[in-house]
């Protein structure tokens, strides 16, 4: 498989937990002398200095992913519109903006962040089924590239608001191709029963009507997005092949200039720790290996390159997912008759993916334990909910109260989905670039918690 390498502990020959192995050989979380590093920084020193729970991101990994995706699409006219919802920290956005990324936003708040981070609204697309009047006005005034609308009603409302302002709103309709993305039901969006987009069969008529009746709309493109965390190429191919005749016709009849094929590229969360895992993958038929961005490009570029359209991508998780970890400290070990619980200081309010989507995050002690023995444990948070766990009945290396562990691959849909539930202050965020670690968001204080309340 392209460019993959075995990640080894620099101190020993043990092929230890390094996330990610796939499909991101360039991630910069490595064991060095038995300690887990992010780029050139020992994560234990960050935990000691800034406390936990603590999000840490690798700038190098984010950029590698962005550049690999850009390169995979290099042959065609394209733009990577990073899906801000995955991780909207200003410093992450600034990093991507400086390297030429566009942005896919879903709220006025995200547009505000992009602008604050130095992003260009002219390279922003605005998705979402429920844009408000204020958000529409804000985005029109800032001159975004396209409103990706999700219903005829929304398109008509956009026309009305643009008319009031004496403006023309650039728009694309989101087509729902009715393709099964084969992902968790909460993050599948491209089936007819989902709330997203307009039925495939209704698109042409809608464009016809809109071009005749909606004088304040410029139909600029077509958009689709079938779901998130897709780990196989086939749903992407199926959706693209299904929609090609439609975009071709829209281009002929309405002169559309772009097609956004959405985001959704999955990452590998779960690693086999067995040595030789990489060889095993390499010997699998291509269809059964984890999806790589190179494969994504190889399959899609030939299908897209002769359409004469600008192709937009809206990746979120792929860019940042494997580029972040959540550090947490073990507070207690509690044994019941049935189980051993490791109680840590991060909770579902800090990282909700396991509770909400049964998401898997590898759990890695920041200091490699002396023994390779594993113990079956539940790692749980302090929140008063049974769903507040990071793993259940998982065989993990030993760690004890006072030790720190990393919840791996937490860079996407981690901090952004965190809440103050149980009146817990939001964690701090750190961005690592080589040997420099910068606090890019301060930990909330107790005073911050009650700010704005009477
Ligand atoms: N474009 C649209 C229209 C979207 O709705 C999404 C994600 C994306 C792009 C980016 O998708 P990605 O490349 O990140 O898969 N919180 C969930 C994921 C929700 C995804 C929502 N939409 C999770 O933690 O798995």
**Residue 245 class from Cβ within 10 Å (0-12 exposed, 13-18 middle, 19+ buried)?**
exposed
Lowest mean pLDDT of 54-68, 231-245, 280-294, name the range. Answer: 280-294
- Give the pLDDT mean for 85-89: 98
Domain of residue 274 covers 60-321
Total domains in the fold of the chain: 2
- For residue 169, report the distance from its CA to the centre of ligand 1, in Å: 25
Q: What are the tens digits of pLDDT across the range 362-411? A: 999 999 999 989 999 999 999 999 999 999 999 999 999 999 999 999 99
Residue whose pair of structure tokens reads 């590998």 in the numeric block: 268
Q: In whole angstroms, give the CA distance from residue 165 to residue 160.
A: 9
Give the long-range contacts of residues 396-399, CB within 8 A, separation 24 or more. 396/342, 396/363, 397/365, 397/368, 397/369, 397/371, 397/372, 397/373, 398/365, 398/369, 398/371, 398/373, 398/374, 399/330, 399/342, 399/365, 399/369
Mean model confidence pLDDT for the chain? 90
Give the pLDDT score at 30.
Answer: 83
Q: In whole angstroms, give the CA distance from residue 339 to residue 366.
A: 24
Give yes or no: residues 93 and 204 share one domain: yes
Domain boundary among 292, 321, 350: 321
Banded pLDDT at 3 (limits 50, 70, 90): very low
SS3 297: helix
Residue 448: alpha-carbon gap to chain centroid: 27
- For residue 435, report the distance from its CA to the centre of ligand 1, in Å: 31
Task: Answer yes or no: pTM beyond 0.85.
Answer: yes
Give yes or no: residues 122 and 231 share one domain: yes
Parallel, antiparallel or unpaired: strands 41-42 and 169-176: unpaired
Domain boundary among 267, 295, 321: 321
Give yes or no: residues 137 and 281 share one domain: yes
Phi, psi of 216, deg, nearest 5: -105, 15
User: Is 38 one of the annotated active-site residues of the chain?
Assistant: no
State the CATH number of the domain containing residue 264.
3.20.20.10
Strand pairing partners for 391?
Answer: 379
- For residue 405, report the distance from its CA to the centre of ligand 1, in Å: 27
Domain boundary among 321, 337, 365: 321
Q: For the chain, give the percent of residues with pLDDT over 70.
A: 90
Spot the catalytic one: 38, 124, 330, 384.
Answer: 384
Pocket (CB within 6 angstroms of ligand 1): 83, 86, 104, 127, 187, 225, 228-229, 262-265, 314-318, 353, 357, 412-413
Give the largest CA-CA distance in the chain: 72
Give yes or no: residues 276 and 360 share one domain: no
Q: Which of 23, 62, 69, 83 to mutate to test the pocket of ligand 1 (most atoms within 8 A of CB)?
A: 83
Give yes or no: residues 195 and 305 share one domain: yes
| Helix count and strand count (H, E) for the chain | 13, 21
Q: If you take atom 7 of ligand 1, which residue's CA is the nearest one?
A: 228
Q: What are the tens digits of pLDDT across the range 157-168? A: 999 999 999 999
- For residue 314, report the distance from its CA to the centre of ligand 1, in Å: 9
Give yes or no: residues 370 and 232 share one domain: no
């Amino acid at each position: 498989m392209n460019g993959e390498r075995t990640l080894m502990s620099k101190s020993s020959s043990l092929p230890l937990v390094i996330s990610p192995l796939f499909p991101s050989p360039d991630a910069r979380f490595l064991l060095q002398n038995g300690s887990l590093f992010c780029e050139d920084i020992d994560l234990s020193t960050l935990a000691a200095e800034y406390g936990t729970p603590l999000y840490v991101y690798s700038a190098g990994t984010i950029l590698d992913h962005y550049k690999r995706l850009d390169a995979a699409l290099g042959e065609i006219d394209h733009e990577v519109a990073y899906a801000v919802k995955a991780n909207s920290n200003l410093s992450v956005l600034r990093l991507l903006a400086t390297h030429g990324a566009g942005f896919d936003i879903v709220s006025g708040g995200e547009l505000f962040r992009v602008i604050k981070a130095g992003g260009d609204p002219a390279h922003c697309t605005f998705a979402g089924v429920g844009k408000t009047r204020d958000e529409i006005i804000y985005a029109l005034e800032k001159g975004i590239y396209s409103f990706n609308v999700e219903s005829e009603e929304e398109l008509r409302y956009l026309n009305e608001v643009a008319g009031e302002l004496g403006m023309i709103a650039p728009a694309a309709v989101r087509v729902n191709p009715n393709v099964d993305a084969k992902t968790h039901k909460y993050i599948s969006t491209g089936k007819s029963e989902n709330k997203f987009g307009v039925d495939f069969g209704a698109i042409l008529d809608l464009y016809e009507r809109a071009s005749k009746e909606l004088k304040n709309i410029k139909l600029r493109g077509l958009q689709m997005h079938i779901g998130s965390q897709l780990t196989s190429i086939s749903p992407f191919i199926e959706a693209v092949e299904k929609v090609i005749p439609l975009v071709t016709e829209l281009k002929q009849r309405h002169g559309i200039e772009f097609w956004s094929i959405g985001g959704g590229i999955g990452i590998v969360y779960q690693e086999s720790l067995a040595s030789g895992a990489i060889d095993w993958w390499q010997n699998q038929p291509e269809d059964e290996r984890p999806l790589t961005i190179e494969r994504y490009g190889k399959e899609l570029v030939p299908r897209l390159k002769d359409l004469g359209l600008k192709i937009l991508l809206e990746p979120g998780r792929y860019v940042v997912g494997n580029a972040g970890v959540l550090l947490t400290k073990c507070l207690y070990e509690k044994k019941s008759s049935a189980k051993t619980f490791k109680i840590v200081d991060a909770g579902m309010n800090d990282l909700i993916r396991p509770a909400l989507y049964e998401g898997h995050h590898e759990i890695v002690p920041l200091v490699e334990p002396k023994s390779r023995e594993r113990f079956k444990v539940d790692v749980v948070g302090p929140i008063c909910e049974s769903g507040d766990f990071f793993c259940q009945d998982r065989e993990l290396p030993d760690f004890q109260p006072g030790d720190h562990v990393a919840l791996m691959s937490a860079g996407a849909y981690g901090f952004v989905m965190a809440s103050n539930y149980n009146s817990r202050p939001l964690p701090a965020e750190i961005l690592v670039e080589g040997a420099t670690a910068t606090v890019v968001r301060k930990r909330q204080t107790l005073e911050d918690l009650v700010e704005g309340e009477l």
